[in-house]
Amino acid sequence: MHLTHLDELEAEAIHILRETAASFERPVLMYSIGKDSTVLLHLAMKAFWPAKPPFRLLHVDTTWKFREMIAFRDETMRRLGLTISVHINQEGVRQGISPITHGSKVHTDIMKTQALRQALEAGHHDAAIGGARRDEEKSRAKERIFSFRDRNHRWDPKSQRPELWNLYNTRLGERESIRVFPLSNWTELDVWIYIHRHQLPVVPLYLAKDRPVVERGGMLIMKDDDRLVLAAGEKVETRRVRFRTLGCYPLSGAIESDADTLEKVIEEMLLARTSERQGRLIDHDQSGSMEEKKREGYF
Amino acid sequence: MSAPFSKGQSVSEYLERYESNDLLRFLTCGSVDDGKSTLIGRLLHDSGRIYEDHLRAIEAASRVHGTRGGEIDLALVVDGLKAEQEQGITIDVAWRYFATAKRSFIIADCPGHEQYTRNMATGASHCQLAITLIDARHGVSRQTRRHATIASLLGIRHVVAAVNKMDLVGWSQERFREIERDFLEVCRKIGVGDPAAIPVSALTGENVVTRGANTPWYSGSPLLELLESIPVEGQSAESPFRLPVQYVIRPTPDFRGFAGSIVSGSVKVGDRVRVLPRGVETRVRRLARSEEDGGDLVIAHAPSSVLVMLEDEVDCSRGDLIVGGGGGAKAAEAIVAHSFEADLVWMVEAPLMSGAEVLLRQGTRTTNARVVRVKHRVDVDTLESHVADTLALNDIGRVEIEAEVPLAFDPYASVQGTGAIIVIDRLTNATAGAGMIRTGDALDPHTKRAHWETMPVATLDAPHGRSLVSGKEREARWRQRPLSVLLFGKPGSGKTTAAFALERALWDLGHAAIVLDGQMLRAGLSRDLSFTDEDRSENLRRAAEIAKVLNEHGVVVIMSLVAPDPIARERTRQLVGEARYLEFDCGKVAAAAVVAAVMASLHG
């Protein structure tokens, strides 16, 4: 008797979520609205049904997310009868940090990495669950499922605990914490096929539609609001586009596409020749840059 | 990475097929020099697709770090961290993913250089198959033996030797057959269930994904075809049912579900089950699932994550093990005991010493435990056992572990999910060791001693408190506190003489006392026992059980046994109860002193 690989991945993720609930005092689920978070939240609902997931949901908002993402977040919480805490780095807001004027590196550091640390510390969270996958990026290929962080939320690739079988070591010292990645063994295709199989609602930005975009630095940036000021020579055009990954709108490159259904999205992905993170500015700052960010505490 | 898909193909058909794929987890072991990274790069590159942006990054890196003179170096596909690329070594297990039309794969890529044992054991604990790289120029090496040994210890049946760099030995069939013979011989000695060897060149791709023109004499499958067709060990109908309870879900007072992952076998609604370690028997009422998800299940198989509801209000929580009941293969007994022997892989710098106090994780239970002793160390190169009382980093050895609470487990060879353990350092919280609980002969001497811990099979609730005569009334009637006095010492130490002198003295003062003499027991109750350490321990246990019963009835019991084992005496103390127990070493204490001490204790 065999389970299919998707059934096996689902069972593993549910096991990890339950293990987290059982082993930590104040776990938190980091919900970031995208496709991976969609699957993660669905699995959390399933793991604890008929009870609600026994941990807080948290969204670290950079204030630069697509408006449709925020609307989708609020609708999802209403639909599932959940509440979510939203944390914004107010210090960053006061300083007027923006991905456009400060660049992706500074913006990501202050509005995401620092903001996340603030939120985890304020909530005294000993475990933070995230939707990261090992196939996303090279430095994640060695990531643990229960990834140890020191008192300063730093990740040291050399001090990670070996993980054998499904016997996770969740012991922590004072103020240490663990990041938990239930989707570690899922690929991008697995995520989409799971969404398709269960017909899970996703942010409409994943599906192709006529949208106002600006060509900038070789990427198509959507003009989601007036904060995106056009430079000389730039113009807003309407193009049929969609997004493979979603982040802050000035940092997320759209792709031209006609894929307006889940099936077409999957077909397009199967034929694609580039990886999903290619459209993300932050990974290209410098060679090995995701590794650097992780060391500093980026999710 | 995904299976090749071409424009015009039906997506829904593709999805249907992809969704029915099963999953094979395999590991690759070998050093950089063997061409392991190149082999994986080749598998990913030739079978699925390496995305263009990744390929561009690899091309750029090949110019800086590559070993192929500026040509694309496929090894860089898999060399992860920046620090590693610079040092040219891989220091940790890396995980890779790809799928073909037949199967989805997860690769645990284990580095061959440093920490090989620790890393390989980690990778192997997740895998069903191992590929070990052999350089065709060098043949089977010590490293090959290590890989096969560790794979076999971790319960991997399929070990495939990829005999690489065949291009460098002129595609010689003779050379390949020689290596194949050596490899199969090593596997036979170690006891690898299903070994195979394939001649390949990761560099040219020969026999990796497709058959090549250079090895017409090789009639077997290319590597990928083998990976696609090897049977994934499924759960047979005979596998015993095991569900370690992870979490109790209780949203309302009338809903109480036990959540966990089935690690072995299957379970149906209505099945009889038992909750270990207590052994309470009940039935499965529901395998609960939400309506949106398709409603309740009728049957569930390993490795599903399930939510089980039981017929009766039994005591059950995280750490407990739900097993099949009611007879048949599915109901095969799990072992319930405090102590066991295991093969342990040591994973931290600080060596393991006999007597170490540790945290032990087994199933969903984490408890304090003591490594009673290290018995021997296994030389992974020669497979010989050496007497040792410590284990160093990357050593593998046999240990005896005693947990603070009773555990329900199986030998690792029967059920991995309940036979695997990890050992955690109590000070640093590091995962210090990983172990496989042993089966077979090695455990036998301990099963008798383990009677101290085994739980009674059928008696669920002892009739405590049913007697109409209270302990207080008994104390008043006999004018004494019940005691269990153990007089121990070597034959000839005078313990029997002292025992009967004590009995006489108590009798004369109007007390109720009785002697349990070791030799007397051996003539009857213990006539099945010999004089091994284990059987001496068991004889003492039987005496202690009788003493306990007699104490319950208010009688003073004087045990006279050799009882050389301090652990067994400590268990006697626990069994009869601290407050009722006295022991005297007759080699050291005179009979008169014993009588005086007991008299003083009689009235509390």
ipTM value, please give it: 0.90
Q: What integer pLDDT is reported at residue B17 of this predicted model? A: 82
Q: What integer pLDDT is reported at residue A172 of this predicted model? A: 95
To the nearest whole angstrom, how far is the Cα of B153 from the nearest Cα of chain A? 14
Q: What integer pLDDT is reported at residue B196 of this predicted model? A: 96
* B166-173 LR contacts (CB < 8 Å, sep 24+): B166/B136, B166/B199, B166/B200, B166/B201, B166/B206, B166/B214, B166/B215, B167/B201, B167/B203, B167/B204, B167/B206, B167/B214, B168/B136, B168/B137, B169/B136, B169/B137, B171/B199, B171/B214, B171/B215, B173/B215, B173/B217, B173/B218
Write the DSSP symbol of residue A109. Answer: I
Cβ-based burial of A274 (10 A; exposed 0-12, middle 13-18, buried ≥19): middle
Contacts of B433 (CB under 8 A, 6+ apart): B344, B345, B346, B347, B348, B352, B358, B391, B422, B423
Contact state of A187 with B232 under an 8 Å Cβ cutoff: no
Contact state of A164 with B121 under an 8 Å Cβ cutoff: yes
Q: Which two tokens stand for residue A29?
A: 């689920």
d(CA A138, CA B410): 38
Q: Which of B1, B2, B28, B293 is best to mutate for the A interface (most A CBs within 10 A)?
A: B2
d(CA A195, CA A265): 11
Give chain A positions within 8 Å (CB) of B106: 185
Give chain B positions within 8 Å (CB) of A286: none
Contact B393/A at CB under 8 A: no
Contact state of B417 with A165 under an 8 Å Cβ cutoff: yes
Contact state of B95 with A11 under an 8 Å Cβ cutoff: no
- Residue A159: how many other CB atoms lie within 10 Å: 11
For chain A, which ranges sit under pLDDT 70? 1, 273-299
Q: Which of A254-268, B330-344, B429-443, B539-553 has the lowest mean pLDDT?
A: B429-443
Is the Cβ–Cβ distance between A214 and A221 less than 8 Å? yes
Look at residue B127 and tell me whether its pLDDT is greater than 80: yes
Q: What integer pLDDT is reported at residue B231 of this predicted model? A: 86
Q: What integer pLDDT is reported at residue B444 of this predicted model? A: 38
Using H for helix, E for strand and C for coil, what is the string for A160-177?
CCCCCCCCCCCCCCCCCE
Q: Which of A17, A19, A49 is best to mutate for the B interface (most B CBs within 10 A)?
A: A49
Is the Cβ–Cβ distance between B458 and B278 less than 8 Å? no
Q: What integer pLDDT is reported at residue B4 of this predicted model? A: 58
Q: What integer pLDDT is reported at residue B184 of this predicted model? A: 96
Q: What integer pLDDT is reported at residue B94 of this predicted model? A: 87
Q: Which of A39-43, A157-161, B158-162, B340-344 has the lowest mean pLDDT?
A: A157-161
At B448, the pLDDT band (50, 70, 90 cuts) reads very low
Contact A154/B at CB under 8 A: no
- Nearest-Cα residue of chain A relative to residue B117: A162
232-271 in B: which are within 8 Å (CB) of A? 232, 234-237, 246-247, 249-251, 255, 259-261, 266
Write the DSSP symbol of residue B468. Answer: S
User: Per-residue pLDDT averaged across B67-92, rounded?
Assistant: 57
212-241 in A: which are within 8 Å (CB) of B? none
Contact B296/A at CB under 8 A: no
Q: Which residue has the tokens 């089966």?
A: B439
Q: Which residue has the tokens 């106090």?
A: B357
DSSP assignment of B2-23: -----TTS-HHHHHHHHHH-EE
Contact state of B304 with A46 under an 8 Å Cβ cutoff: no
Q: Which of A3, A50, A272 sits opposite B255 (nearest CB)?
A: A50
Residues of chain B with pLDDT > 90: what percent? 51
User: Per-residue pLDDT averaged across B43-49, rounded?
Assistant: 71
d(CA B326, CA B349): 47
Type of residue at B461:
D
Contacts of B185 (CB under 8 A, 6+ apart): none
Q: Which of B1, B122, B305 sits opposite A14 (nearest CB)?
A: B305
Contact state of A7 with B126 under an 8 Å Cβ cutoff: no
Look at residue B235 and tell me whether its pLDDT is greater than 80: no
d(CA B90, CA B31): 9
Radius of gyration (Cα) for chain B, nearest Å?
31
Q: Which two tokens stand for residue A155?
A: 């990740």
Helix and strand element counts for chain B (H, E): 16, 28
Contact state of A51 with B249 under an 8 Å Cβ cutoff: yes
Q: Which of B5, B93, B237 sits opposite A142 (nearest CB)?
A: B93
Contact state of B249 with A50 under an 8 Å Cβ cutoff: yes
Mean pLDDT over the full length of chain B: 85
Look at residue B82 and tell me whether its pLDDT is greater than 60: no
- Residue B409: how many other CB atoms lie within 10 Å: 29
Look at residue B279 and tell me whether its pLDDT is greater than 90: no
Contact A160/B at CB under 8 A: yes
Contact A142/B at CB under 8 A: yes
- Which helix (H) or strand (E) is B596 found in, with range? helix B591-602
Q: What integer pLDDT is reported at residue A287 of this predicted model? A: 45
Distances (CA, A) of B198 to A43, B24, B135, B151: 41, 19, 12, 18
| Cα–chain center distance at B272 | 25
Is the Cβ–Cβ distance between B586 and B489 less than 8 Å? yes
Look at residue B464 and tell me whether its pLDDT is greater than 60: no
Higher pLDDT, B459 or A11: A11
- Nearest-Cα residue of chain A relative to residue B15: A193
The segment with the largest mean pLDDT, out of B188-192, B263-267, B440-444, is B263-267
b/e code A18-35 from CB counts within 10 Å (16+ = b): bbbbbbbeebbbbbbbbb
**pLDDT per position as a tens digit, B479-506:** 888 999 999 998 888 899 999 999 999 9
Q: Which of B11, B94, B237 sits opposite A263 (nearest CB)?
A: B11
Contact state of A158 with B21 under an 8 Å Cβ cutoff: no
- How is the beta sheet containing A85-87 ordered, strand by strand? A85-87, A56-60, A27-30, A127-129, A177-180, A146-149
User: Per-residue pLDDT averaged across B557-581, rounded?
Assistant: 89
Q: What integer pLDDT is reported at residue B439 of this predicted model? A: 65
Write the DSSP symbol of residue B427. Answer: T
Contact state of B364 with A22 under an 8 Å Cβ cutoff: yes
d(CA A106, CA A97): 8
Contact state of B359 with A171 under an 8 Å Cβ cutoff: yes
Q: Which of B61-75, B77-91, B99-113, B230-244 has the lowest mean pLDDT?
A: B77-91
Is the Cβ–Cβ distance between B371 and B401 less than 8 Å? yes
Q: Which of A46, A167, A198 is best to mutate for the B interface (most B CBs within 10 A)?
A: A167
Distances (CA, A) of A166 to A261, B285, B319: 37, 27, 14
- Residue A211: how many other CB atoms lie within 10 Å: 19
Opening angle at CA B358, ends A15 and B347, nearest 5: 75
Q: Which of A81-90, B79-88, B462-471 has the lowest mean pLDDT?
A: B79-88
- Residue B403: how many other CB atoms lie within 10 Å: 21
Q: How many CB pairs under 8 A join A and B?
A: 195
Give chain A positions within 8 Å (CB) of B121: 162, 164
Cα four-point dihedral sign A148, A150, A153, A159 = negative
Beta-strand pair B420-424/A27-30: unpaired
**pLDDT per position as a tens digit, B413-431:** 899 999 999 999 999 999 9
At B147, the pLDDT band (50, 70, 90 cuts) reads confident
Q: Which residue has the tokens 């026992």?
A: B529
Give chain A positions within 8 Å (CB) of B153: none
At B382, the pLDDT band (50, 70, 90 cuts) reads confident
Q: Which two tokens stand for residue B91?
A: 């220091």
- Which among B318, B316, B284, B289 has a CA at the least distance from the CA of B304? B289
Q: Which residue has the tokens 């109750």?
A: B525
d(CA A23, CA B300): 25
Cα four-point dihedral sign B194, B197, B203, B206 = negative
- Which among A65, A43, A66, A61 has a CA at the least distance from the CA of A53? A43
**pLDDT per position as a tens digit, B47-56:** 665 666 666 6
- Which among A247, A253, A272, A257 has a CA at the least distance from the CA of A215? A253
Contact state of A171 with B424 under an 8 Å Cβ cutoff: yes
Model confidence pTM above 0.95:
no
Look at residue B371 and tell me whether its pLDDT is greater than 90: yes
* A9-12 LR contacts (CB < 8 Å, sep 24+): A9/A183, A9/A185, A9/A186, A9/A190, A9/A194, A9/B23, A10/A43, A10/A194, A10/B305, A11/B261, A11/B303, A11/B304, A11/B305, A12/A166, A12/A182, A12/A185, A12/B303, A12/B305
Q: Which two tokens stand for residue B243?
A: 């569900």
- Which among A285, A279, A210 has a CA at the least distance from the CA of A244? A279
d(CA B312, CA B452): 29
Beta-strand pair B556-561/B321-324: unpaired
- Nearest-Cα residue of chain A relative to residue B289: A49
Look at residue B580 and tell me whether its pLDDT is greater than 70: yes
Give chain B positions within 8 Å (CB) of A169: 361, 422, 424, 429, 431
266-285 in A: which are within 8 Å (CB) of B? 266-267, 269-275, 278
Look at residue B446 and tell me whether its pLDDT is greater than 70: no
Contact A151/B at CB under 8 A: no
Contact state of A162 with B122 under an 8 Å Cβ cutoff: yes
User: Per-residue pLDDT averaged across B178-187, rounded?
Assistant: 95
Q: For B442, list phi and psi in degrees, rounded to 5.
A: -55, -30
481-510 in B: which are within 8 Å (CB) of A? none
Q: Which residue has the tokens 């097929």?
A: B17
User: Per-residue pLDDT averaged across B262-288, rounded?
Assistant: 94
- Which helix (H) or strand (E) is B487 found in, with range? strand B484-488
| Cα–chain center distance at A165 | 26
Q: What integer pLDDT is reported at residue A206 of this predicted model? A: 97
E strands along B186-304, which residues?
A: 194-199, 242-244, 247-249, 257-261, 266-268, 272-276, 280-287, 299-301
Give chain B positions within 8 Å (CB) of A2: 22, 232, 234
Give chain A positions within 8 Å (CB) of B301: 1, 3
Domains, in order of start, for chain B: 11-229 (3.40.50.300), 242-331 (2.40.30.10), 337-439 (2.40.30.10), 469-603 (3.40.50.300)
Contact A50/B at CB under 8 A: yes
Radius of gyration (Cα) for chain A, nearest Å?
19
87-146 in B: which are within 8 Å (CB) of A? 91-97, 99, 103-104, 106, 118-119, 121-122, 125-126
- Residue B151: how many other CB atoms lie within 10 Å: 28
Give chain A positions within 8 Å (CB) of B85: 288
Contact B332/A at CB under 8 A: no
**pLDDT per position as a tens digit, B294-317:** 999 999 999 999 999 999 999 999
**pLDDT per position as a tens digit, B250-270:** 999 999 999 999 999 999 999
Beta-strand pair B321-324/B242-244: antiparallel
Contact state of A164 with B431 under an 8 Å Cβ cutoff: yes
Is the Cβ–Cβ distance between B279 and B455 less than 8 Å? yes
Give chain B positions within 8 Å (CB) of A49: 249, 288-290, 293, 307
